[in-house]
Chains A and B, each alone.
Chain A
Amino acid sequence: MAQAHDAEMGITEEKISLAGGELLLLKAGKGRPLLVLHEELGFPGWLWWNRELAREHSLIAPLHPGFGRSPRREWILNVRDLAGFYLWFIREQKLAPVDVIGISFGGWVAAEMAAFAPESLRRIVLVAPLGIAPPQGHLMDMFTVTARGYLRSSVAAAQKTPEFGSLFGGSPSPEQFEAFEEARAEAARLAWQPYMYNPSLPHLLVGARHVPALVIWGQEDTVAPVGCGEIYARALPNSRLTIFESCGHRPEIEQRERFVAEVRSFLAA
């Protein structure tokens, strides 16, 4: 077990063995476990919202297999397979029923988990999750733009978003270019077609109706139109859709105070 400590947040890194390979876990904070599922470009680094929630939660952020540091499992062919992998992880780690927060692609994974094993989840927070096609328009195609281009499109106003510049280590480097390419390649393997959604998901989510869900969306989201959120909210009747005005695809950094307040009060219940 490799460990490196960060004094402020109590950050540790841990490798576990699961489903035929290693899985790298980033951990921080103390309290009731909160599983954090990262986005399609990889794990962006610990952010302010993580530090805030780490005060009362023990954050467990696995690095998705194939997205970089956790080795790929060749048999994980789609997002539902990845959800199955994480349900196995929850059982193995004896976490159920666990709170889960998923960002964008990670939100889709969380929704798939809810659809298949609602009893494994206590409360879920879906932050502009992919996984459902919008009623009008399309999900923005990350595969026809560069990683940097996709990143730029993810916030409504980069200059008004202090943490935007620190995402993924800040300034571009060859190492980060490689990391982005790894993440993009695995995202393509899992969600090339149909692009980043599963037609059965809204139907199956109805069966997970008792799982309390907080769905957070930015009104100005150009990556996943807010109409997707309305479908999520309809499919999950025990959910609340919270729309942030003047906000893009990253409410967790674009309006971080409000975001943390919403999540904190939802998870406290």
Chain B
Amino acid sequence: MHIMWFSERAYHFDPETQSEQHRQFENEVIRRRSFFGLPNSMCEPEHASRLLNQYLDEKLYSEELGFDGVMLNEHHGTPFCLGAVMDVEAAILAKLTKRVKIVLLGNPIPTVANPLRLAEELAMIDLIPGGRLVAGWVRGAGSEQLANNANPAYNREYLEEGIDFIIKAWTTPGPFRYEGKHFHFRFINPWVLPLQKPHPQFWIPGLVSPDTVIWCAKRRYPYIALATKLAPTVELWDLYTKIAAAEGYQAGPENFGYMQPVFVGHNQARAEALGERFMFGGGFAHFARPEWMFPPGYNSKEATRRLARLNSGPNLPGKPIHRSQGNETEEEIEAIKREIYAGYPQARKELQMIAGTPDYVTKQVRKVLEVLRPGIFSFWIDGPLSFSDRRECLRLLATEVLPAVREFADELGLEDPFARKAGSRALPADGKPAPVAQAEMLKQMAAVA
């Protein structure tokens, strides 16, 4: 199993030592029902500078601790994620780390809009550390199509054509010319090419959109579910497995990854309290308002049909609240916050956050692994926490949780795509694929709960 950890690298204040700044900042997010679009005049560059450096230090520390990979992402126009250009951070880690995989989940081809430039950046990020890049691709959030002026109605076309183009740029001897539907290049001859051949692995992160899952299964790309609820995740694993069988292969743990929000501490009550901060500002539900999450044509017709009948946001902790907005009193804002944080026990119950002592976390993570059987696993640590709390959480994860997780993984046969190439498993003789996820296990868990 490949084990890594992730953080959004949010702009935040420590609620304990910077409580007033923290309160004002969160209240503004709540008032606007959105992290996206928070005025950048609220960003103090000195503070952002410290945060970015501390986030990079954590990544370096995690190599010392024995994680297999460091995972990065990027977001635009939001304090949710200060890593606005992930390849910049990746380049630093490429030089300063010695062993870990640099897992980029992922580069938003539609919003970057220049796949040749991406091909060159990523080739350098693979060359510098001697071939440790995992490249991932994303569509970019809806709000980011607006923030980068990327036509959302062509979003999926940009992504798919861009990936094909990057593969071509990396594998076709140059110079050559390319005239596609959306991209046109008259002279392609990048002198920096990846060290890994034919190219670094591609992993695709997502929030269980069937369109993406089907597409990944067809291309044999591992699919990484980002902290989605277990029941729909099992359904999507089954869908992937079915499509894989139609493509002539048996899906296995190497085709799947899962990201799990956690917080580990010595003391159960304190760890639970710190885990609650994952709900900060409404969490992903307040990532951006609906008009920004779903710009025109960003969703497929099928996804739009589902959305038209579903009055809720993505299935991550934090309840979307879209009542009147912008003119609430402080008391009303505090009431909305109470409503958001009231969702925490349910989030814990559904394992949307596992917070506790190393022992507790280990047991809960085992349940997730038994149900989903992923070959790639990422811990997710977020929320406004002090860097000392984060560092201690990382240390406990690495020293007290990770060894047990590796043992389960071996016991459960959870091979990662480095141990076994994704899409290389033969179908059973009768052509009927074996399920990867264990739906039965999920039922048992529900019965116990």
Contact = CB atoms under 8 A, between A and B. Distances in A.
Interface string B148-175: 0101111000000000000000000000
Interface in A129-152: 143-146, 149
B149 A193 contact: yes
Contact of A188 (B153, B292, B305): B153
A174 B308 contact: yes
B290 interface: yes
A177 B308 CA distance: 6
B308 A143 contact: no
Contacts of B290: 146
B299 A144 contact: no
Interface string A229-268: 0000000000000000000000000000000000000000
Contacts of A38: none
A116 interface: no
Interface centre among A143, A145, A182, A187 (most CB of B within 10 A): A143
Contacts of B308: 174-175, 177-178, 181
Contacts, number: 54
Contact of A186 (B153, B291, B295, B307): B153
A46 interface: no
Contacts of A192: 149, 151, 153
B243 to A, nearest CB: 26
Contact of B154 (A144, A175, A181, A189): A189
Nearest to A146: B291
A184 interface: yes
A187 B291 contact: no
B157 to A, nearest CB: 10
Contact of A193 (B151, B294, B296, B301): B151
Interface in B397-446: none
A174 B297 CA distance: 16
Given A185-B297, A188-B296, A189-B154, A143 B146 contact: yes
Interface string A76-101: 00000000000000000000000000
Contacts of B295: 143-144, 188
B24 interface: no
B151 A178 contact: no
B309 interface: yes
A188 B299 CA distance: 13
Given A144-B146, A178-B304, A189 B297 contact: yes
Contact of A178 (B291, B297, B305): B305
A187 B307 CA distance: 20
A188 B158 CA distance: 14
B149 A188 contact: no
A149 B153 contact: no
Contacts of B301: 178, 182
B305 A144 contact: no
Contact of B309 (A174, A186, A189): A174
B305 A189 contact: no
Contacts of A175: 308
B292 A181 contact: no
Nearest to B37: A144
B114 to A, nearest CB: 16
Contacts of B299: 181
Interface in A177-211: 177-178, 181-182, 184-189, 192-193
A60 to B, nearest CB: 27
Contacts of A178: 301, 304-305, 308
Contacts of B297: 181, 184-186, 188-189
Contacts of B307: 177
A144 B295 CA distance: 7
A178 B151 CA distance: 19
Contacts of A186: 153, 297
Given A144-B146, A174-B308, A178-B305, A189 B291 contact: no
A192 B309 CA distance: 27
Interface string A3-32: 000000000000000000000000000000
Contact of B304 (A181, A187, A193): A181
6 nearest A-B residue pairs (beta carbon): A185-B297, A184-B296, A174-B308, A188-B296, A188-B153, A177-B308
Given A174-B308, A177-B308, 12 more contacts: A143-B295, A144-B292, A146-B290, A174-B309, A178-B301, A181-B294, A184-B296, A185-B153, A188-B152, A188-B153, A189-B297, A193-B149
Interface of B: 146, 149, 151-154, 290-292, 294-297, 299, 301, 304-305, 307-309
28 contacts: A143-B146, A143-B295, A143-B296, A144-B146, A146-B290, A146-B291, A149-B291, A174-B305, A174-B308, A174-B309, A177-B304, A177-B307, A178-B308, A181-B299, A181-B304, A181-B308, A182-B301, A184-B297, A185-B152, A186-B153, A186-B297, A187-B296, A188-B151, A188-B153, A188-B295, A188-B297, A192-B153, A193-B151
